[in-house]
Amino acid sequence: MSPDRTRSIRASATGRPETTTLARVAVVLVALLVTTSTVAAATTTFAAGSNESLSANDSVLALETTSTVASTSTTTQTQATSKKVDVVFVMDRSDSMNTERYELANELQTFQRTLLERDVDARFGLVTYTSSATVRQPFTSDFDAIERAMIFSPSGNTERASDAILKATEMNYRSDAERVIVLITDEDDDSDAATRQQAIDRLEDYTFLSVSPSSASASSCDVHSPPCDSSSDNELRTLADDVGGDWLSIDTNADRTMERVATNVFEAVNAPEKSGSDSNNEFEVGPNINVVEQSVNRTEIEVGESVEFNVTLRNKGLAEGTYNLFLTTNGELLAEKRVTVGHLSETSTTLVHRFDQAGDYKMVLSNQRVDVVHVSEPYPMSIDVTKNDAGDRLQATVADANAGVPVTIDLPPSAILAGTGNELTSITIDSRPTAVKIQHDLAFDLTLERIEAPPEGTPAIASDARAVRYLSVTSSLSTADLRSVTFEFLKSGDDVEIYRYDTDGGEWMQLTQRNVDGAPGHVVASTSRLSTFALVVDDPALSVGSVDVGATSVTEGDLVTASITVTNNGTRAQSYDATVSLDGQTVETKFVEVPAGETITVPMSFVANDPGTYDLAVAGVDQGQLQVDPAPTTSEPTTTEPTTADPGDDDDAPADGSTPGFSIIVALVALIAAALLVSRRR
């Protein structure tokens, strides 16, 4: 593009008068009416009122009158001017460019619309850069793809613009299309001088527009790439002049910037362009949609919660159009929606996003910053249980629970089952996952209250049980959100049953019980509905009074005896199994019938067959040790023949060889002989 052509473009772009929307619409209508001889009489009236506001009815009438004319005029023009153009946007992706990028991206749809109205066959590409350049979007005629490509995370503070320009010139342009490169940055060029000269040489075959700061100081030229080309001009403004291109200050508002881009494109394809206000008003004939209001419903949330982003769109154009909404954060696309807006009307819509990770999110809606959403970790679940002074009413409050995850409420000792010998230890509430929108925001109350009789309309349960306790269980959790409720209680040995009154069927329904961890006295019972419950301590209620054991030290073969006293406190007979065991092995069992209201003694006995020491238990009660001694052994009597011992063989013989006792006999014999001799002498 020649310098003279550049100056004419600048004069055309800066010389447009600023008018109100309705005034410009009026001018367009005047121009259209002039081209039609059948409405020539109306031309004077419209021209005279071109600086005044049109009423709503007048605007609608004008639309209906001129729609055919506008269509015919545009068609006639575009058929003669159809051209091809390939446009590359080269965009600085540094942190400081975020605001400008969002605003410019928001105007891209209007830019595309103006090209379509001029019947320009356009393709678009996107190159982003900081210290290096990347082709973020190759050439495409799908403008939605360009809008999505504009969603990227900012990065870096070194901007090598000339390197990016070279990258843009290497893209796959059509051989029969005009080539346009639009550079957008708020900094100077950090490329070296050789690269900048190479970019200047390449741009001779391109239409080039630089949107950049107007001065070196504004772009920190003295810091980024000394020495700068000029002490008063940004390098990229100088570069545009060097290649006969166009330049526009980055401080220019976004819609005006995109108008200048459109001007360059139109000039590149030699499309005839109207001068003055008519040029702007031609664009107004089609849809002209902009965001007029946006908001977020909340900015402080927990993980798993959703935020609603609301936006209002206004179409100032004379035709219905569509607008693409994008919700992003840090370059990540979170949600998108295509919205249709009627001519001269407004439309409000909402985009919703759920946040699954904690953090601070800078949200961008429709390429404009909205607010920062602070997402924190969810609060831990809390359970608060209180009881009244009598202990017969328990109130549990649950907050921040997870829907779909069972919540067990441990119950303090209470009078709920007083007089039954049993204790209700916990209630587990299982809700459906759909109980709340946010899974960890489930909150509900649960009330358990002992009542003396069923509520009105509920019959008493038919039972001859020893004890019945009625229990009212209510919750703020709706029936539709409740999946199950489980009662857990400890039994004292009595046969305890739990019933729920079924209001639909009008009857008491017994709940199935199951043991917990195999413990017979620890049971749970579940149901899917809350209602009035009855806990029945069924008759009979058997109890073992005393156990007596005979001798605990016996001889093998002896009979071991014991007795068990059993009492039936119920109203009907009950069977009882009496047992005796040694070292855990049952050695004696006796099955007895205990009449209602009576106490009986059950005798037990068994023979101790095997010697040893055993742990003795009677009726399941430890009785110490039982000692079983072996029985004594017995043998037949025997007869032995007398023998004459050899004195020489007798180990007990005296040492002098005499026989034991022989001296005494000899002495006696001598004494008797002496006595006889004396008597004879007399």
Per residue in 631-668, is it b (16+ CB within 10 Å) or e — as a string?
eeeeeeeeeeeeeeeeeeeeeeeeeeeeeeeeeeeeee
368: nearest Cα among 424, 309, 283: 309
Instruction: For residues 369 and 400, state if they share a domain.
Output: no
- What's the CA gap between 593 and 24, in Å, rounded? 108
23 in Cβ contact with 285 (< 8 Å): no
Only one residue has tokens 């919703």, namely 352
Instruction: For residues 552 and 411, state if they share a domain.
Output: no
Instruction: For residues 345 and 451, state if they share a domain.
Output: no
pLDDT of amino acid 643:
52
- What's the CA gap between 429 and 477, in Å, rounded? 10
Structural domain ending residue among the three candidates 476, 504, 538 = 538
Instruction: For residues 488 and 516, state if they share a domain.
Output: yes
Strand partners, 474: 447
Angle at CA 232, nearest 5°, toward 229 and 233? 60
Instruction: For residues 532 and 420, state if they share a domain.
Output: yes
Structural domain ending residue among the three candidates 506, 538, 570 = 538
Instruction: For residues 529 and 444, state if they share a domain.
Output: yes
Question: Which residue type, as a one-letter code, is found at position 168?
Answer: A
Cis peptide before 647 (omega within 30 of 0): no
Is 528 within a domain?
A: yes
Instruction: For residues 435 and 497, state if they share a domain.
Output: yes
- What's the CA gap between 614 and 624, in Å, rounded? 8
pLDDT of amino acid 428:
95
- What's the CA gap between 183 and 387, in Å, rounded? 73
Q: What CATH number did the domain enclosing 489 receive? A: 2.60.220
Instruction: For residues 563 and 450, state if they share a domain.
Output: no
Instruction: For residues 354 and 483, state if they share a domain.
Output: no
Is 4 within a domain?
A: no
Instruction: For residues 397 and 521, state if they share a domain.
Output: yes
Q: Give the count of beta carbons closer than 10 Å to the beta carbon of residue 376.
A: 14
Distances, alpha carbon 437 to alpha carbons 213, 304, 432, 433, 445, in Å: 49, 9, 11, 9, 18
Structure tokens of 24? 């410009």
pLDDT of amino acid 191:
86
**DSSP character for 63?**
H
Domain that residue 625 falls in = 542-629
Phi, psi angle pair for 24, to nearest 5°:
-70, -35
Structure tokens of 46? 């419209």
Mean pLDDT of the chain: 76
Report the SS3 class of residue 536. Answer: strand
pLDDT of amino acid 190:
84
Structure tokens of 597? 């209201």
Instruction: For residues 424 and 488, state if they share a domain.
Output: yes
Structure tokens of 89? 């946007």
146 in Cβ contact with 126 (< 8 Å): yes
pLDDT of amino acid 499:
92
**DSSP character for 506?**
T
Is 494 within a domain?
A: yes
pLDDT of amino acid 59:
38
- What's the CA gap between 235 and 226, in Å, rounded? 11
Structural domain ending residue among the three candidates 538, 571, 603 = 538
216: nearest Cα among 188, 248, 252: 188
Using a CB cutoff of 8 Å and minimum separation of 24, what contacts does 226-234 make?
228/188, 234/188
- What's the CA gap between 95 and 183, in Å, rounded? 17
pTM: 0.44
Is 481 within a domain?
A: yes
483 in Cβ contact with 528 (< 8 Å): yes
Backbone φ/ψ region at 195: left (φ over 0), alpha (ψ -120 to 50), beta: alpha
- What's the CA gap between 323 and 468, in Å, rounded? 70
Phi, psi angle pair for 367, to nearest 5°:
65, 20
Is 251 within a domain?
A: no
pLDDT of amino acid 5:
38
Is 331 within a domain?
A: yes
Task: Give average pLDDT by consecutive 10-residue segment, the chain, 682 residues.
Answer: 38 35 35 34 35 38 35 37 82 74 67 74 91 92 79 79 94 92 87 89 90 69 48 75 86 74 76 40 64 90 90 87 85 87 91 92 81 92 93 93 93 84 88 86 93 88 79 92 91 76 90 79 86 79 83 90 85 78 90 85 90 90 90 64 51 51 58 59 50
143: nearest Cα among 124, 127, 121, 171: 124
pLDDT of amino acid 669:
59
Is 39 within a domain?
A: no
Is 428 within a domain?
A: yes
pLDDT of amino acid 660:
53
Give CA torsion, residues 150, 155, 158, 163, to 10 deg. Answer: -40
Instruction: For residues 404 and 309, state if they share a domain.
Output: no
Q: What CATH number did the domain enclosing 550 receive? A: 2.60.40.10
pLDDT of amino acid 86:
92
**DSSP character for 3?**
H
165 in Cβ contact with 202 (< 8 Å): yes
- What's the CA gap between 423 and 417, in Å, rounded? 6
Number of domains the chain contains: 3
Report the SS3 class of residue 305. Answer: coil
The 3-state secondary structure of 400-463 reads EECCCCCEEEECCCCCCCCCCCCEEEEEEEEECHHHCCCHHHEEEEEEEEEECCCCCCCCCCCC
